A and B are shown apart, each in its own frame.
Chain A
Amino acid sequence: MVLLEPDPFLSELHKMYERNKERTVWVTMKRTNMKPRKARKPDPKRPYVCLIRANDGKRHISTTVTPTNYAKFSQSMLVIMKGAMADTLKKKEKPKTGK
């Protein structure tokens, strides 16, 4: 698991979607105050953040967003996800015989 800063995470996420046109990508979000592995000291005062993970079955990436920076991040992430999904999802079927 690689914990990235929000911006590199977004570009990695984009690459992950690009790479996996034959496969599946999972993006998971949860609320947590867990410390990253590097800092193992327990810290109950550590604020809660939103952890976002992405996984394609081979590689995991993750990032955290705080109450101050989630707004921009969520917009960028949605743009990336929509970009990846828009082409493959079915378009709404229009009635064949127009009046």
Chain B
Amino acid sequence: MYVEDFEAFYEQAVELYKARPIETRYTIKFRHKEGKVVLKVTDDRTCLKYKTDQQVDLRKIERITSIFFPLMACGDLPPEGAEAGQAGQQQAAAPARGAAQAPGSAKKPRRRG
């Protein structure tokens, strides 16, 4: 099933993973000739797909990939302090804003004063 809206895809994908962490897999298919990327998240019951050929969507791909890494490596989001997980964590907290953020710009707000 293709999901048109990335935010919906993102949320559903994470929900799907959390429901069945061991059975869920995440695939990034890249067809160079057509310049097309298909993201797929499936637990063999439900299949979620997101398709794009736009360069700006690389940020979205990066965002969802960088949340699946901590999810899949640690089982959940790591505690604060792990750098790569940090970006994902913040974006998870604010999904709408996260889409517009460049990688690396999602730094932890520093304490002042």
Contacts and interface: CB of A to CB of B under 8 A. Distances in A.
B26 A22 contact: no
Which size bracket describes the interface of A in this complex? 35 or more
Given A70-B69, A78-B62, A88 B28 contact: no
Contacts of A2: none
Interface string A35-76: 000000000000011100000000000000111001111110
Given A23-B33, A81-B28, A74 B53 contact: no
Interface in A3-25: 17, 20-25
Nearest to A19: B32
Interface of A: 17, 20-32, 48-50, 65-67, 70-75, 77-78, 81-82, 84-86, 88-92
Interface of B: 21-22, 24-33, 35, 37, 52-58, 61-62, 65-66, 68-75, 78, 82-85, 103
